[in-house]
Every structure is written in C-alpha cells, then in structure tokens.
Amino acid sequence: MPESLPAFAHPARHASCGTAADNLANSPRLSGSIAVRTCWAVAASRKGLPVTKQGDPSSVARRYVEAIGEQDWQTVADCWRPGALDVFVGVADLRAPDEIVAFFRDVHAAVPDLTVHILSVTAQDERAVVHWRMRGRFDGTAALIGLAPNGTRLDLLGTDVFVVRGGLIESNTAIVNGLDLARQLAVLPPQHSIGERVLFGLANSIAPLGKAIRARNRSGR
C-alpha cells in the first residue's frame, strides 16, 4: 500500500466506508482486494494512524499488543501462525494460539482494570520490537503466575521481540524485569527496604559456606 493515499481513496470521498472501514482496519484476514485495502487505509486515516501495510512486522506487532489490552481474543489468535512459540522469559512458554489466548484471559481476570500502553515500536526486516507498559490492580478472580490476588498495584514495563513472516507472528520473546515483578507482587520486599536488607543479609551470610564446600569438592577430585 502506498504511503500517501490517491485521490480516489481520500477519506472525504469514502464516507460510505463508515463502520465497515473501522472493522476492516484491524482485520488480519481481509487484505486480498483493493477495496478492502482502500477501506483499511481510510479507517486508519480517520483514526489518525499511519497508513502502512497491514502485514508488515510493525503493524502486526502493534495490532497484537493492542488486541491484548482490548481483550480482542480473535485478533490475538489471528495474529499468530498456529503452533508458533511465545516465550515469556522466566514465566511460561506458550503455543499459539490457544495457550496464548488462555494466558492473557487469565491475566485480565487477575487484573480486571488492566491497561496496556505501547511506548514504542521499532522494526527492521522481519523483526519488530514493542516496548510496552501494563498497569492495573491485582485484585481479580484468577491467580497470576501461581499467586492469589492480593490487591497490589502493578506498573510493569516490558519488551516483546517479534519475528513476523507473511503477516503472521512466527515467534516472540517477551521480557520483563523479574526482580521488579516479584517486588510488585509482594513476593520480595520493596527495594532498599529493611526487609530487603535482611533478606540479602541472610543470602550473603551463607555464601561463604557454599564457597568453602565448593573449594573442598574441587580439592578432593
């Protein structure tokens, strides 16, 4: 799709696209005809979005992350090549699309007021990197990574590294700060707190013992 719209595709001349254009703007399946591509471009223009190819990595990655925030599970599933792997580092390895949809359904159930904000999208060749921010109160009806809701307020930064081919996500590596996540979930004490100093002190107190055991084992070989 060209970066600028030709005269026949200008929004003012396609008011009849209306709701259909809005629906088509986020459809990953209906991209085979000029009419559909034109309506998608019109809808994107009306929403103030850049007019880009629906299948390019940055558009697919952005659409996918936005769909998670909107709980648009059909779009979440449609963005993936079936059987592809989503690696949420330190949390879970998920197969597309069913395990991914189930995981984020549970996240929304655990954090009912969850909001997802895209901070930036950077793409090169078939890769797209999305930097995002998720916020909400962990006070829902489902567990989160095995923990029961405890009412804590979450404010998480993360990065997803997507590989997109043919308009579908082939793989993703999602990265969050695990230490910060544990603190926010109240698994670890707050940073620089007395509790953290006590915990780190206990860990440091047994470190010399472990070092001595390793040295003895090496000398006994």
Digit-coded pLDDT (tens) for 154-190: 999 999 999 999 999 999 999 999 888 888 988 887 8
With vertex at residue 70, the alpha carbon angle to CA 65 and CA 76, rounded to the nearest 5 degrees, is 50
Express as a percent the part of the chain with pLDDT over 90. Answer: 53
Q: Kindly report the number of other CB atoms within 10 A of residue 42's CB atom.
A: 27
- By the 8 A CB rule, do 195 and 202 touch? no
* Distance set, CA 89 to CA 122, 160, 168, 188, 212 (Å): 20, 10, 21, 19, 32
What are the tens digits of pLDDT across the range 77-89?
999 999 999 999 9
Residue 209, classed as helix, strand or coil, is helix
What are the tens digits of pLDDT across the range 110-154?
999 999 999 999 999 999 999 999 999 999 999 998 999 999 999
End-to-end CA gap in the chain: 67
* Distance set, CA 198 to CA 179, 183, 184, 195, 216 (Å): 16, 15, 18, 5, 29
What is the spatial distance between Cα 208 and Cα 61, in angstroms, rounded to a whole number?
Answer: 47
* Distance set, CA 142 to CA 98, 102, 133, 148, 150 (Å): 18, 12, 21, 7, 11
**Residue 183 token pair:** 């603190």
The DSSP output letter for 11 is: G
At 20, the pLDDT band (50, 70, 90 cuts) reads very low
* Distance set, CA 162 to CA 75, 88, 143, 200 (Å): 16, 12, 27, 36
What is the spatial distance between Cα 2 and Cα 44, in angstroms, rounded to a whole number?
Answer: 13
What is the spatial distance between Cα 39 and Cα 32, in angstroms, rounded to a whole number?
Answer: 12
The pLDDT of residue 198 is 82
State which of 27-31, 45-49, 170-174, 196-200 shows the largest mean pLDDT: 170-174
The pLDDT of residue 13 is 41
What is the spatial distance between Cα 165 and Cα 76, in angstroms, rounded to a whole number?
Answer: 16
The residue among 219 and 49 whose pLDDT is bigger is 219
